[in-house]
Amino acid sequence: MSTPPERQRPAREFSVAEAARLLGANPRSIRDWIQCGRFAARREGRRYFLSDAFVRSLKAHEERVRKWPRLVDVSRRFGIHRNHGASLCRVAGFSIEKDLTDDCRIPPEAEAWLAERMKAEAARRDWVPLVALAKQLGVPRNVLDGGIRKHGLAFAKDYTRQVVVPPATVEWLCGWRRKLDGYRSEATEAGDRRLHPIHATAAKAAEKFAKRGDDAHAKKTQALIHRYRYWAKEGMPVARMDRQLFVDEATHDALVDDVSPIEASRLTGIKIGRLKRWAAKGIVQQTKVAPTRRSLSFSSVLAAAAACVKEGRTVHGVPVQMLLPWPELIGRLCPPGAVSLERMLELSADATPRDIGALVSGAGFVSRAVWRILDDWLRAREAGRLPPKPPMTTQQHRDALTRAPELPFLLGWFSGIRDAHFAAVLRPGLRNQVNGDELTALCGHLTAGTPVRVYEPERAYRTGEFLVDSNGEDLGAVRAAHPSHIEVEWMRRGALKMSHHATNGPG
C-alpha cells in the first residue's frame, strides 16, 4: 500500500519563527498581530505562514521607519504632550508611522517643522487667548473674533488651535470696550444736549416692575429695549452714535415714567376701565411717547391711586411703588435704638409678614393701614413734627402693643422723649396692667407734648400734666392746680383731689 504524498508548503512563505528572526521581532508579538488582524497570514492547523512579499515589504518599512525620531522623544524635547505633537503633525500633513515595537515615529521634516513652530510659540508667550479675553471683557467670543477680522487686527492660532492675540490687539479691544461702557452709562454729553442710551433708560424704567439684579428686571429691560427700537423705527426722536441709540433728556424722562394701561393696572391693582376714565377726565396724565402708542404717566397714576386709597375707594392692597424704597424708609424713619422698622410697623400698624416682605423686596402690595401710617410718619418727619400715635384699631392690636417689651421705646419715639424715661415711669407692674384704652389716652397725651411725671406729694404740678401713680397702679391728668391741692382725673379711680406744694415751683 503506497503512502500518501506529504502536503507541500507553497514556495516563498515564512513561518512565524522565520518571520520573527528576519524582522528582529518577538515571535509572540508576530502571532498576536496575526490574530488581531494586523498582519495577513495563511493558517494551516495551528501554524501561520506569511508570504515572502509581505515579509520583505514589512522589513523595508521597518528599516525606513527605524531611522525616524520617536514622537515621544521629540515632544519631550519641546515641552509638549505627545498627543499635541501628533495633532500638530497631522494638521501639517506629516505621516505618523508605528514600528514593530509600537513606538510612534515621525519623519525628520516633521521634527524640523515642530522646532520652527515651537520657536514661533515661544515668541508669542505674552499673547492672550481670545477665550480668556472675551471672559475678561464680558463680550461673546464670536463678537471679538468678528471685530478682529473686520478691523484687520493681528491674531494667530497656537498649537492647541486656539486663537491668540498680541498685546496691541488686546489694548485696542480694551479701548473699544471702555468706549462701549461709556455709551452704556447713565448719560453722555453731546454738544449742548444730555443724551441717555436706551439700555440705561430701559433699565431705569424696568425698576418699576422688578428690583435690579433680578431675572424679572433683566427680562423686562430686554423687552423695553426691543420696544424702544421699534418706536425709533416708527419715528421716535433718537440719536445714533457708533450703532448705539440715544434719547434726549425729555424723551428719557417720558420713557422712564411711561406705562401702558395694562401695566399700570397690574402695578396698582386698579382696573383698566377706571384708569382710562381717569385719563379721559385729566386725572391721570396721558403721554404720547411714540407715534403708535399713547400711554399713561406712572407718577400721575400713583398720585391718583394714593387719593383713591385715602378715600377708601379701592378693595385691593396698596402697591409698594407708592412708597419710598425700603432702605430710604429705614434712613428716614427708623431712629437709633434696638427696635427695627419692621417691629415698629408690626406694633403700630399690625403689619403682617407679607407686608414686610413686599416692602423689603420692593414688589407686591401692602395693607392700607401700613401704607397710611408710613405716609403719615413721612409727612410728619418732613414737617418737623412728631410722628402720630398708632391707630390701634382693634382690641387685639391694643393688647399686643401693651404687652410689647418695646413699648417704652415706641412711646418715647412718638413723644420725642427718651425711651429710658418711659422705662423708669412705666414700671413693670404698671406696664403689665395698662389696657388698650389707657394706652390710647397715654399716646394721645404724649402726641400732644404733655409732660409725664410720677406723682409725689411734695412736688408742685401744673394743669395739663400727665401723672403716673407712685405705686404704679394708675394714670391720670391734672385738670386744675390750686395752691394747696390739684384735681387729677385718674383713669381707674376717677376724679380726686391730691395735695401738692405749689410754693416749690414745678418739679
Which of 22, 38, 65 is at the close of a domain? 65
CB distance 220 to 259 below 8 Å: no
Q: Are residues 48 and 86 in the same domain?
A: no
Q: In what order do the strands lie in the sheet with 42-44?
A: 13-15, 47-51, 42-44
H or E stretch covering 47: strand 47-51
Which of 212, 237, 256 is at the close of a domain? 256
CB distance 284 to 297 below 8 Å: yes
What is the Cβ-side half-sphere exposure of residue 466, based on CA atoms within 13 angstroms?
20
By residue range, what is the domain housing residue 171? 128-183
**Structural domain contains residue 439:** yes
Q: Are residues 89 and 167 in the same domain?
A: no
Q: Are residues 39 and 91 in the same domain?
A: no
Return d(Cα 25, Cα 29) in angstroms, integer.
7
pLDDT at residue 195, as a whole number? 82
Q: Are residues 171 and 202 in the same domain?
A: no
Q: Are residues 118 and 103 in the same domain?
A: yes
**Structural domain contains residue 106:** yes
**Structural domain contains residue 308:** no
Return d(Cα 199, Cα 334) in angstroms, integer.
35
| pTM exceeds 0.85 for this model | no
pLDDT digits (tens, 9 = 90+) for 182-196: 555 555 655 567 788
Return d(Cα 451, Cα 280) in angstroms, integer.
53
Q: Are residues 211 and 174 in the same domain?
A: no
Q: Are residues 209 and 230 in the same domain?
A: yes
Count up the domains in the chain and report the number: 5
Beta bridge partner(s), residue 105: 70, 97
Rg (the chain; Cα; Å): 45
Return d(Cα 18, Cα 58) in angstroms, integer.
14
**Structural domain contains residue 331:** no
Q: Are residues 97 and 132 in the same domain?
A: no
Cell numbers at 404, concatenated: 410689647
**Structural domain contains residue 483:** yes
Cell numbers at 210, concatenated: 422688578
pLDDT digits (tens, 9 = 90+) for 4-15: 444 455 557 888
DSSP summary character for residue 79 = T
pLDDT at residue 2, as a whole number? 45
User: Residue 378 — φ and ψ, nearest 5°?
Assistant: -65, -45
Q: Are residues 103 and 147 in the same domain?
A: no
Burial call 364-375: b when 16+ CB within 10 Å, e when fewer: ebbbbbbbbbbb
- For residue 179, give the CATH number of its domain: 1.10.1660
| Coil vs helix vs strand at 80 | coil
Q: Are residues 413 and 472 in the same domain?
A: yes
**In sequence order, what are the residues at sequence separation of 6 or more whose Cβ sits closer than 8 angstroms to the Cβ of residue 248?**
193, 194, 195, 196, 237, 239
**Structural domain contains residue 474:** yes
**Structural domain contains residue 303:** no
pLDDT at residue 52, as a whole number? 81
Phi-psi region of 406 (alpha: psi -120 to 50; beta: other; left: phi over 0): alpha
Walk along the chain (507 residues) and give the pLDDT tens digit of each residue: 444 444 455 557 888 888 878 777 778 878 887 888 777 788 888 888 888 888 888 888 888 888 888 888 888 888 888 888 888 888 888 888 887 777 888 888 888 888 888 887 777 778 888 888 888 887 788 888 888 888 888 888 776 678 888 888 888 888 877 776 655 555 565 556 778 888 888 888 888 777 777 778 888 888 888 888 888 888 888 887 767 788 888 888 888 888 888 888 877 777 888 888 888 888 888 877 666 677 888 888 888 877 777 666 654 667 777 777 777 787 777 655 556 777 777 767 777 788 888 788 776 778 777 877 788 878 877 777 666 655 555 555 555 555 566 666 666 666 555 555 555 555 555 555 666 566 666 666 655 556 667 777 777 888 878 777 766 667 788 888 887 888 888 877 788 888 776 544 443
**Structural domain contains residue 301:** no
**In sequence order, what are the residues at sequence separation of 6 or more whose Cβ sits closer than 8 angstroms to the Cβ of residue 9?**
44, 49
Return d(Cα 214, Cα 377) in angstroms, integer.
30
3-state helix, strand, coil in the chain (%, to 5): 50, 15, 35
Dihedral sign from CA coordinates of 143, 149, 153, 155 = positive
